[in-house]
């Protein structure tokens, strides 16, 4: 067994770290306060080849594996969780086209993502259905050579800045098996009847755009159906089984970043005439934080390696998603505690990390849903 990163992975890690350290600190706090999408980070990270990096070269991608992407994501989010997410989230949902689209769909929609020319979204969640994906109500009805889509989507990342996205809709309401009623469609945001409204006031990850989408008789051509009719639920599950690795990478980065800050502060700050780091109580906290990061990182690399090598393990992906997210939340909490009152003020990065970390336990499958997946596999 070899735990060494390859030379290419080491160099990706360094490029990502150098990029984040140079570009993020000057704007991270402001983007968070103003809830502003970091356009310049999007453009510059696309030039580095980080967006759509796992796409094949024919769609302008760098043909990277999930492990490579996880390493990049980890380094970026170690410096800032909101900005770090940018290069990966701009292509959110596009994998459904990559894995199930026709060649025409791929040629039309994919190449813009790595080039930094277009942004996509994934529209699954609705006001009445989040974890229960098969419970969605958005409908797509065939009318001649078109599909007519009506419904509402909630919490859609990139909703107001995307050019196109994937909408999950009910196409076969009479199908007895509820998981077979759904299909996926490409919908362009300029389509008549499509309206996205920004959701403001998020607790964290505020540089990332989140929107509510309303679709009122949105018409898309027949050829915008992605893959097979009735397979939409399965495509979305398959999608999450891969992208949860990237969320876990985000979480490992946040957990590591929180630890970095705690170590630095504990060395710099003195109480009772000695550095905080000299007290055993603080040392134990740092040791536990380090252990959490290391455990989550090992789980992450193994799960990502499995996806890259045709040995995808659904249980391993679900496990690292909740474990790494919880490690991020715990490390942010402990690190903030070590910062004392200063940690509670937004001059300190740990305050922003703390708010961002919580979302990792919620989106792309809550930690409860991840545990249900693990239990289902265990009890099969």
Establish if 375 lies at the interface with ligand FAD (CB under 6 A).
Answer: no
Closer by beta carbon to ligand FAD, 152 or else 210 = 210
Establish if 156 lies at the interface with ligand FAD (CB under 6 A).
Answer: yes
Establish if 61 lies at the interface with ligand FAD (CB under 6 A).
Answer: no
From the list 228, 364, 368, 377, the catalytic residue is 364
Establish if 122 lies at the interface with ligand FAD (CB under 6 A).
Answer: yes
Q: Which conformational region is residue 287 in: left (phi greater than 0), alpha (psi within -120 to 50 degrees), or beta? A: alpha
CA 128 to chain centre: 22
Closer by beta carbon to ligand FAD, 25 or else 135 = 135
Per-residue binding letters, 127-146, with ligand FAD (x by CB under 6 A): ---xx---------------
Q: Which of 19, 24, 42, 155 binds ligand FAD (CB under 6 A)?
A: 155
Closer by beta carbon to ligand FAD, 129 or else 263 = 129
| Residues in 64-103 that interact with ligand FAD by CB under 6 A | 92
Q: How big is the CA angle at 217 (ends 215 and 220), to the nearest 5 degrees? A: 90
Closer by beta carbon to ligand FAD, 171 or else 208 = 208
- Residue 21 CB, shortest distance to ligand FAD, in Å, is 26
Establish if 165 lies at the interface with ligand FAD (CB under 6 A).
Answer: no
Establish if 171 lies at the interface with ligand FAD (CB under 6 A).
Answer: no
- What is the 3-class SS of the chain, one letter each residue? CCCCCCHHHHHHHHHHHHHHHHHCCCCHHHHHHHCCCCHHHHHHHHHCCCCCCCCCHHHCCCCCCHHHHHHHHHHHHHHCHHHHCHHHHCECCHHHHHHHCCHHHHHHHCCHHHHCCCCEEEECCECCECCCHHHCCCEEEEECCEEEEEEEEEEEECCCCCCEEEEEEECCCCCCCHHHCEEEEEEECCCCCEEEEECCCCCCCCCCCEEEEEEEEEEEEHHHEECCCCCHHHHHHHHHHHHHHHHHHHHHHHHHHHHHHHHHHHHHCEECCEEHHHCHHHHHHHHHHHHHHHHHHHHHHHHHHHHHCCCCCHHHHHHHHHHHHHHHHHHHHHHHHHCHHHHHCCCCHHHHHHHHHHHHCCCCCCHHHHHHHHHHHHHC
How many residues bind ligand FAD (CB under 6 A)? The answer is: 21
Q: Is 364 one of the catalytic residues?
A: yes
Piece of 54-62, 172-180, 340-348, 367-375 that binds ligand FAD (CB under 6 A): 367-375
Piece of 104-112, 120-128, 180-188, 301-309 that binds ligand FAD (CB under 6 A): 120-128
Q: Which of 60, 105, 125, 224 binds ligand FAD (CB under 6 A)?
A: 125
Residue 306 CA to residue 309 CA, distance in Å, equals 5
| Residues in 347-366 that interact with ligand FAD by CB under 6 A | 359, 362-364, 366
Closer by beta carbon to ligand FAD, 9 or else 208 = 208
Q: Which of 210, 243, 250, 312 binds ligand FAD (CB under 6 A)?
A: 210
Q: Which of 9, 46, 60, 124 binds ligand FAD (CB under 6 A)?
A: 124
- Residue 124 CB, shortest distance to ligand FAD, in Å, is 3
- Residue 222 CB, shortest distance to ligand FAD, in Å, is 24
> What residues act catalytically?
364
Binding site for ligand FAD (CB under 6 A): 92, 121-125, 130-131, 155-157, 202, 210, 359, 362-364, 366, 368-369, 372
């Amino acid at each position: 067994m070899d735990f060494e990163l390859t030379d290419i992975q080491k160099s990706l890690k360094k490029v990502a770290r150098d990029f984040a350290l140079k570009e993020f600190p000057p704007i991270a706090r402001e983007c968070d306060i103003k809830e502003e999408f970091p356009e310049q980070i999007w453009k510059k990270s696309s030039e580095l080849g980080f967006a759509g990096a796992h796409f094949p070269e024919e769609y302008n991608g760098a043909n990277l594996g999930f492990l490579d992407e996880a390493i990049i994501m980890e380094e970026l989010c170690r410096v800032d969780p909101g900005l770090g997410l940018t290069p990966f989230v701009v292509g959110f949902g596009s994998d459904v086209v990559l894995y199930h689209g026709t060649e025409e769909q791929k040629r039309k929609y994919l190449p813009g993502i790595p080039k930094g020319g277009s942004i996509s979204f994934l529209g699954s969640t609705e006001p009445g259905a989040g974890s229960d994906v098969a419970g969605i109500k958005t409908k797509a009805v065939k009318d001649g050579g078109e599909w007519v889509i009506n419904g509402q989507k909630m919490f859609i990342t990139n909703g107001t800045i995307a050019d196109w996205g994937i909408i999950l809709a009910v196409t076969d309401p009479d199908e007895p098996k509820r998981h077979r009623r759904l299909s996926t469609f490409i919908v362009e945001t300029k389509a008549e009847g499509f309206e996205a409204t920004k959701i403001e006031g998020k607790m964290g990850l505020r540089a990332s755009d989140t929107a509510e989408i309303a679709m009122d008789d949105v018409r898309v051509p027949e050829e915008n159906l992605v893959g097979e009719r009735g397979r939409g639920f399965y495509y979305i599950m398959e999608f999450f089984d891969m992208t949860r690795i990237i969320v876990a990478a985000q979480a490992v980065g946040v957990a590591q970043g929180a630890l970095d800050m705690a170590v630095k502060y504990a060395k710099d700050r003195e109480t009772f005439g000695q550095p905080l780091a000299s007290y055993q109580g603080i040392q134990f906290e740092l040791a536990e934080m380090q252990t959490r990061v290391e455990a989550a990182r090992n789980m992450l690399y193994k799960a990502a390696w499995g996806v890259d090598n045709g040995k995808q393990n659904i249980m391993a992906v679900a496990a690292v998603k909740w474990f790494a997210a919880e490690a991020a939340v715990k490390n942010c909490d402990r690190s903030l505690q070590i910062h004392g009152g200063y940690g509670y003020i937004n001059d300190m990065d740990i305050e922003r990390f703390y708010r961002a970390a919580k979302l990792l336990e919620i989106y792309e499958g809550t930690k409860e849903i991840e545990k249900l997946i693990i239990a289902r596999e265990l009890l099969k």
